[in-house]
Amino acid sequence: MHHLPAVSVLLPFLFAIMIILFSRRVIVIKVLAVVGSFVSLAVVAAMFPALMSGETLGTGIPYLTFPLPISFRADSLSIFLALILSFCYLLATIYSLGYMGHSHAPERYYSLLVASQGAIVGVFMAYSLIGLFLFFEIMAVLSFLLVIHEEDEPAMFSGSKYLFMTVGAGLAVFFGLVVTYYLAGRLDFVPGGYITQSSPYAAYALFAFLAGFGLKAGMFPFHIWLPDAHPAAPAPVSALLSGCMIKTGAYGIIRVIHFVYGLDVVRAISFDRVLMVLAVITILLGSALAMQQDHLKRRLAYSSVAQIGYVLLGISLLTERAMFGALFHIFSHALMKGTLFLCAGAIITQTGKKYISQLAGIGYQMPVVMISFTIAAVTMVGIPPFNAFISKWHLAVASLETGQSALVALLVLSSLLNAVYYFPIVINAFFSNENKSVKTSFIRDEVPASMIWTTALMALLCVGFAFIYPNWPVIAASNIASAIF
Amino acid sequence: MDGLTTVLWQPAVSIIVLLTASLFIWVIGEKGEKAVTAISASAITAALLFLAPLSPYVLAGHVQVIRYSILPPFGLSFRVELLSISLALLFLFTGLVLTFYTGAYPLESGKRRFRTVFLFVLACSVGVVLAGDLLSLFLFFEAMSLSFFILVIHNREQETISATFKFLYMTIGGSVMYFIALAAVFNQAGELAWRDGGIMTAGGPYTLLAFIGFVVAFGMKAGMFPLHLWMPDAYGQAPAPAVTLSSMIMLKTGAYGILRITHHIFGIDLLRDVSWHNYVLVLAVISILYGSSCAFATRDLMRRLAYSGIAQLGYITLGITMLTPDALTGGVYHIMAHAMMKGTLLLCAGAILAKTGKRNIDDLAGIGWKMPFTMICFSIAALTAVGLPPMNIFISKWHLGLGALDAGQPLLLVVLLISSMLNAAYYLPIAIAAFFGERNHDLHEKLSWDRLPLGMSLSIVVLTVGCLAFGLGQINIPLQWARAITAGFFY
Amino acid sequence: MFISPFYAILVPILGGGLIALLKEEQDGPRNALAVFISILTFSIVAPTLPLVLTGEQLAFTAVRISGGLSIAFRVEPLGVIFAILASMLWIFSVIYATGYMSHEHHRRRFFTFYILALSATMGVAFSANLFTLYIFYEYLALITYPLVIHEQSAEAYSAGTKYIIYCFASGALVFLALFTLAGIGGSLTFSPTGVLASAVADNRLLISVMFFVAIAGFGVKAALMPLHSWLPSAMVAPTPVSALLHAVAIVKTGVFGILRIMFYIYGVDTLRELGVANILAIIVSLSIIVASVLAIKQTKLKSRLAYSTIGQLGYITLGATMLSPYGLIGGISHIVNHALLKIVLFFCAGAIITQTGATHLNQMAGIGRRMPYTMFFFSLASIGLIGVLPLTGYISKFYLLSGSLQAGKPILGFVLLTSAVLNSIYYLPIIISAYFTEGSYDKPNGLESPPSMFFPTAVLTVFCVLFGVFAHYTTLPIVNLVVTNIFQ
């Protein structure tokens, strides 16, 4: 049991190596990729009891010694996020079988995909800032290679932009690490934090972390890479970038302010205020820019910027309820944004259309996909009983509790904006006036089954968790939030 | 080991063996390249075998000064201690790697001369770090610097010759400054030997003169701004093995010299008192930023690596002049880390140059499919240079950063980070363009292996592993040694 | 009683006579005799070294002239340094000359005067007072005149005329100083502490002026700028003569005379009191820099070497003018070091001229292919002059620099350093163009120059290294002794 965290990190890397070694036959690659993704999900899932019981798993064996030992441990926060994201990975991997069916360099694509799963799990399982940083950087390089997979001019450009900005983010985090280590002489995680003395150095470190993790999360003003990189990547990768990777930034901020620096320090240097302001700007800006986009995936990408703003907002309020909202939003956003990107990928696969203005009447050609899209879009707006409603509700309540009633208005406004930029797509897809003559009868989606099923499953889960009892994401998120405070 | 009572013969014999071997290569040079490589390699190995057994002795903190009654006024002396031995071992090891590389590198003509001088320079650089006083160091330092020009001028083209002159005159200028510093130390202290805590007792015009002299002489070797001018030209013209030798070994002697004078001639107490080290620190910062920026601006691969070397040596100088233990650990560790990282990059660049004749970065798009092995190693080293964990440079930057905070100057850490960013900006595009991009699409099918000579592949692999291995391993011996060295200076 | 200085002077005179008796065609015996005489002279002089190191000094008065003047000899440290150096290098020069002159005319005349010059040099070295020094000084000028005009070309004659005019003018100045000082101070016998201390108070101005007169006198031979112009002209002489002129005998007698005047007639204390040394230091500094710059402009190898000599001689005088022990150690040891290094350079130049005919630098491109070892010796000697370890030049440079700091005049140190840089500017391109540019030269068949030229050069190059590495067994003890005596 205590070996599981390490296994869950190393296993995907092992599979990635196997994919490279057995790269002769495409079918073998695909099987290995799916099996690898599934197995590592299974390993993470095996830690589920610990998630519910709040136990911390880990052997304490140091695996690396640079310059501090790194061992793998998992508390419920780690397991919670790892579980969600591994699941998304599995779906994206299966989706890729169809989407990337005839793409070049499959061995590269699948090995990177599986390895990046290991890296992202590593971010959560390496139970110290330095380990987090290590996997953070590995993830950056791997995801860069995934972004530029198409190797066309826009992909190369936006990939490079992503790479350099993420390297910069890594360096900012590095700065924070060094300062933190200088202050405390340690970099592990302790609930409640261990740096309780406020000092200029602590402020430097925290804001460096904010810049580094914030960039990764797509927070204003470091979001500029995101609308380029996400659309340029292949659809499953976009789904993973938006659904999973940007969450590691939020995760990093949670770890820093709750497990390294005490809340006193955070409050003393007004870190929470700054974060809140940035989160608000991120939400508004993301939503506003999303509206202007005609390119579907760009609209989704800007939407991700706005959504990560919710998570950061939840973190910045520094209350248990807000934290619950943030955690739950990580979960719900992963599913819904994943769904949306997978839908966008399916549309591109079948019709080659990338722009929203071209999508009139597409609902008749791709009913399953567009219904999934609709579900996810509705979830996104925050209509009960869908997932995002729960997170937004709690965020709103937490805002009132902390006396920030203006934030409630913000949340409402943002939901409205969500509606404004998602619903026209849906409406246009099914009830287009212009293209009425073209097709009015439903035909079956003409994309590979693996894409249809994964998209549909993800969309279902957006709704489904509301009807499952016990609703374990809620329980887990509330457990974690209460453990943190 | 009973090294306390007996006079250690190893330093002198090691250097003599190396020098004799270089003479021997000159004599038999025309006969065959294999024989030359064998002789070089066995001489270096012999020196390694002589010096390596001293490591437990020096790790235990023992120091022995061996003085030979030649070279007046104070005699030729060697000092066996951890710093000397570890650097000597590093130089010999990298020298061994380079020997195989050079053996396989297709030099057009003058192989005999090149390889003789190559080994000679190596021997002298080992002498520099083993030397026990300022004058002995100067002997090896000058011999090394002056004979290096023969490697630079190898191609004998017009530009090469003017680059060589630049190098030579600056070297002479440097040694002239060293000379005046030597005289100043002699006047003030009456001796020239290393001593813990320094031999200079008070600040004053002559002490300052000595300080400036040493900084100029060593800074020139280390390519410190504004004394770096020789470097880009020389690197642009010299054959790849010479550039690598310079970057991996010769430059380090400059940093080593600054370390020595800081702790063993002036002493940190005196320096803290007069704050002269801050001038060097500022120069190091400028070097870092300037070197990185120039590297970014140039399109010639070799010159880019040269400018990057200016920045990297700035790190080492920075680590030394911050006068804090962590920073020194970082600086000393960076000597090793940079040797591995830059060595890999330079050997790869050399392999590309030898194989394709290309040195302009714009021409290197898609090279990864023709020379995948080389470019994979290049990419790994490039990532190392950026300071990605868990590779070597990360560790040195880590310690340098801690030292900067310790010195109360977090801005220096920011400087390191900016430089890392620039590193990323000038290395990664090369690696990316080598493999990816639309115009390389059709190259995927034409993937062919590098077909480098064995010696070149082998040496590239060894250094690449060196970039990775220490950070990944459970026990980081260079780091332990760097810490022990630091502990010796900040007792 | 065996009085070595006497024999050291006598033997070459007799030897020169014997050589003159041999016929022009009798090359073998003449060469053997010349070599034998120089070896013999050296073996007479050599034992004086251990003698003076034990603190003993030999004195011998040959002729007493009225008025307190006498021709007297004395074996004391400074003279011994000069004598041993000269007689040692004479051996190599003679051997070299046998090879160099083998195709020249008037070999009998050449060797006769060549050997006679040795006796004059020995006389200068061992002279016990200024009068004796003056006599041998003039004698040397006369003897070397036939050597300078050896080529008997118009150029040689004009150079010879210039040479002899400069020499006699110089002699006149020395003579003027000699008698004035004798009148003031009474004694002209060299003493390490000077002999004028008691007379300064009354004749301050006159003594100061006479200092410059005397220095100007010897400064001509020491090629002190602006009195140097005879030296580059005299390059027209055969190379062995140039080598001797520059490296050993003539210019060094000038410097030797300056040292004698400064420290053995005036004395350190008197000089400090008069402050004249500082003025001289300025002149010498300028001389060093200007000569070095002029050297860069020379296109003939030997001219470049000549200007280099002017600069290097300045080092010696500069070391003396610092009036500090280290500076003087540096200056005196540079007499030896410069002699060794410069003679190698001239030997190389001579070898190049005889073997390839190249006299101008632009003819020397690629010559390293034809004469690799000769150029290697040349390279070593030239970087030795720049001051690179472990070649012998670094010792003097080290002490000169230390001396400038010790005297509180770091500016003089910077003059030396500037000169070192300029040295590198005019030497290094020669080396690089010899080895690394394309030329029309082919590889040599067998030895690249005649053995009698090759081996002296090689051996002296080895000496250049040995005298550096083992300076504390060779030069330094006796130099230290001289300096200790002066700075008591």
**Chain B residue numbers touching A174 (CB-CB < 8 A):** 387, 397-398, 401, 417, 420
What does the buried/exposed string (b/e) look like for B315-332 if buried means 16 or more CB atoms within 10 Å of the residue's CB?
bbbbbbbbbbbbbbbbbb
Measured CA to CA, the distance from residue A4 to residue A114 in angstroms comes to 18
Number of domains in chain A: 3
Which of A269, A301, A328 is the C-terminal boundary of a domain? Answer: A269
- Best B413, B430, B446 member to test A by mutation, with max A CBs in 10 Å, is B413
B399 touches chain A (CB under 8 A): yes
With 60 as the cut, is the pLDDT of residue A438 above it? no
Tell me the average pLDDT across B279-290.
Answer: 90
User: Among residues B380, B379, B481, B484, which one has the least CA distance to residue B93?
Assistant: B481
**pLDDT per residue as tens digits for the range A371-388:** 888 888 888 887 776 777
Tokens 């296993």 found at:
A11
Q: Are A435 and A384 in a shared domain? A: yes
Contact residues, chain C, for B175 at CB < 8 Å = 387-388
In a domain, C430, yes or no: yes
> Which helix (H) or strand (E) element contains residue A69?
strand A68-70
Q: Which of B144, B172, B192, B212 to mutate to test the interface with C (most CBs of C within 10 A)?
A: B172
- Which residue in C has a C-alpha nearest to residue B177's C-alpha? C417
**Least CB-CB distance to B410: which of A134, A172, A201?**
A201
Whether A201 is in a domain gets the answer: yes
Distance from CA of A163 to the nearest CA of B (A): 9
Structural domain contains residue C109: no
On whether both A380 and A424 belong to a single domain, the answer is: yes
| Residue A185 included in any domain | yes
Taken in order C276, C279, C285, C287, is the CA torsion positive or negative?
A: negative
Query: Is residue C407 assigned to a domain?
Result: yes
Check pLDDT > 90 for residue B128. Answer: yes
Nearest residue, CB atoms, A64 vs list B390, B417, B436: B390
CB count in 10 Å sphere of residue B150: 21
CB contact under 8 A, B424 and A175: no
Burial class (CB within 10 angstroms; exposed 0-12, middle 13-18, buried 19+) of A170:
buried
pLDDT averaged over every residue in chain B: 86
Across the range B96-111, mean pLDDT stands at 83
- Closest CA relative to residue A345, chosen from A278, A275, A297: A297
Are residues A167 and A91 located together in one domain of the fold?
Answer: no
- With touching defined as 3 or more inter-chain CB pairs under 8 Å, the answer for chains B and A is yes
Residue C111 in any domain: the answer is no
Q: Answer yes or no: do C424 and B172 touch at CB < 8 A.
A: yes
Binned at pLDDT 50, 70 and 90, residue A434 comes out as low
Q: Are residues A114 and A159 in the same domain?
A: no
pLDDT digit string (tens) for C333-347?
999 999 999 999 988
Residue range A50-79, pLDDT digits in tens: 878 877 887 777 766 656 777 788 888 888
Neighbours of chain A (3+ CB pairs under 8 A): B
Average pLDDT, chain A: 85
A78 and A17 within one domain: yes
Q: Are C304 and C232 in contact (CB under 8 A)?
A: no
* Residue A186: domain span: 153-269
Return all residues near A422 (Cβ < 8 A) that are at least 6 apart. Answer: A303, A377, A380, A381
* Mean pLDDT to the nearest integer, A82-89: 89
Pick the most confident of A183-197, B4-18, B129-143, C174-188.
B129-143
C-alpha distance from C225 to closest chain B C-alpha (Å): 24
Percent of chain A at pLDDT exceeding 70? 96
Q: What is the pLDDT of residues C44-68, one digit of tens each?
A: 888 888 888 887 777 787 778 776 7
- The confidence band for B491, taking pLDDT boundaries of 50, 70 and 90, is low
Q: Which of A221, A237, A269 marks a domain boundary?
A: A269
Q: pLDDT at position C1, please?
A: 41
Distance separating alpha carbons of residues A468 and A466, to the nearest angstrom? 6
- Establish if C249 belongs to a structural domain: no
In a domain, A345, yes or no: yes
Pair A13, A119 in one domain: yes
**Do A387 and A323 sit in the same domain of this protein?**
yes
User: What's the gap between Cα B267 and its chain centre?
Assistant: 23
Indicate the residue of B143, B149, B183 with minimum beta-carbon distance to C402.
B183
Q: Does A157 touch chain B (CB under 8 A)?
A: no
Comparing alpha-carbon positions, the chain C residue that sits nearest to B160 is: C436
Token reading at C419: 């000169």
Measured CA to CA, the distance from residue C226 to residue A233 in angstroms comes to 81
Q: What pLDDT shows up at residue B3?
A: 47
Q: Going by C-beta distance under 8 Å and a sequence separation of 6 or more, which residues neighbour residue C201?
A: none
Identify the residue among B19, B139, B175 best suited for mutation to test binding to C, counting C beta carbons within 10 A and taking the highest: B175
Q: What is the pLDDT of residues B226-274, one digit of tens each?
A: 888 888 888 888 888 888 888 888 889 999 999 999 888 888 888 888 8
Q: Does B12 touch chain C (CB under 8 A)?
A: no
- Furthest C-alpha separation in chain B: 71
Instruction: Confirm whether A146 is domain-assigned.
Output: no
Closest-CA distance, C484 to chain B, in angstroms, reads 16
Q: Which of A137, A156, A175 sits opposite B417 (nearest CB)?
A: A175
Split into its structural domains, chain C has a count of 1
- Note whether C404 contacts B: Cβ–Cβ < 8 A: yes
Residue A213, pLDDT score: 92
Test the B interface: residue of C406, C431, C432, C474 with most B CBs within 10 Å: C432
Question: Do B397 and A174 lie within an 8 Å CB cutoff?
Answer: yes
A105 and A189 inside one domain: no
Flag whether A176 is in a domain: yes
| Pairing mode of beta strands A73-74, C58-64 | unpaired
- CB contact, 8 Å: C465 with chain B? no
C205 is written with which tokens? 């101005």
Same domain, A163 and A38: no
Distance of alpha carbon B485 from alpha carbon A32, whole angstroms? 49
Q: Does B153 touch chain C (CB under 8 A)?
A: yes
Q: Please give the backbone phi and psi of residue A295, each rounded to the nearest 5 degrees, phi first.
A: -75, 120
Of the ranges A303-307, C86-90, C385-389, which one carries the lowest mean pLDDT score?
C385-389
A191-195, B185-189, C445-449: least confidently modelled range: C445-449
pLDDT at res. A67: 62
Nearest-Cα residue of chain B relative to residue A63? B474
For residue A200, is it within any domain? yes
The C-alpha of B410 sits at a distance from chain A's nearest C-alpha, in angstroms, of 8
For residue A152, the chain B residues in CB contact (below 8 A) are 438
Residues A55 and A107 in one domain: yes
Chain A residues within an 8 Å CB radius of B432: 148, 156, 159-160, 163
- Contact at CB, B389 and A182, closer than 8 angstroms: no
Chain C residues whose beta carbon lies within 8 Å of the beta carbon of residue B187: 326, 402, 405-406
Residues from chain B contacting residue A201 (CB–CB below 8 Å) = 405, 410
Please answer yes or no on whether C402 and B206 come within 8 Å at the CB atom.
no
Residues belonging to chain B: 491
C421/B206 touch (CB, cutoff 8 Å), yes or no: no
Is C129 within a domain? no
Q: Is A140 within a domain? A: no
Structure token pair of residue C63: 């002729």
* B72 closest CB neighbour out of C395, C404, C424: C395
Question: pLDDT by residue (tens digit) across C394-426?
Answer: 888 888 988 888 888 888 888 988 898 898 888
Strand partners, C64: C70
Q: Which chains touch C (3 or more CB pairs under 8 A)?
A: B
Tell me: pLDDT of C441 over 80.
no
**Co-location of A293 and A263 in the same domain:** no
Asked if C417 reaches chain B (Cβ–Cβ under 8 Å), the answer is yes
Q: Do B402 and A178 touch (CB under 8 A)?
A: yes
From the CA of C447, how many Å to the nearest CA of chain B?
16
Task: Kindly state whether residue A415 falls inside one of the protein's structural domains.
Answer: yes
Domain stops at, among A240, A269, A298: A269
CA dihedral angle for residue A405, residue A410, residue A411, residue A417, rounded to 10 degrees = 160
Q: Would residue C34 count as lying in a domain?
A: no
A151, B413: Cβ pair inside 8 Å?
no
* C vs B contact (3+ beta-carbon pairs below 8 A): yes
- Within-domain flag for C166: no
What residue in C sits closest to B157 (Cα-Cα)? Answer: C437
Is the CB of C466 inside 8 Å of chain B's CB atoms? no
The chain B residue lying nearest C413, using CA atoms, is B180
- Rounded average pLDDT over B353-379: 86
| Nearest CB to B168; choose among C406, C417, C424 | C424
- Is B179 at the interface with chain C, CB within 8 A? yes
Find, among B67, B85, B242, the residue nearest to B150 by Cα.
B242
Its pTM stands at 0.87
Residue C253 predicted with pLDDT over 60: yes
Q: How many Cα neighbours within 13 Å face the side chain of A86?
A: 31
Q: Is the pLDDT of residue A425 over 90?
A: no
B68 in C contact zone (CB under 8 Å): no
Give CA–CA dist A20/A117, Å, rounded. 16
Share of chain B above pLDDT 90, in %: 16
How far is B360 from chain C, CA to nearest CA, in Å? 26
Distance between start and end Cα atoms, chain B: 24
Q: Are A316 and A357 within one domain?
A: yes
Mean pLDDT across chain C, nearest whole number? 85
Q: How many CB pairs under 8 A join A and B?
A: 95
Instruction: List, as ranges, residues 408-427 from B with C-beta within 8 Å of A.
Output: 410, 413-414, 417, 420-421, 424-425
Residues in chain A within 8 Å Cβ distance of B413? 175, 178-179
What confidence tier does B1 reach under pLDDT thresholds 50, 70, 90? very low
pLDDT tens by residue, C140-183: 888 888 888 888 888 888 888 888 888 888 888 988 888 888 87
Q: Phi first, then psi: give them for residue B299, nearest 5 degrees.
A: -105, 0
Does B372 have pLDDT greater than 60? yes
Three-state DSSP class for residue B64: strand
pLDDT of residue B257: 92
Tell me the average pLDDT across A188-215. 88
Q: Which domain holds residue C465?
A: 301-313+321-488
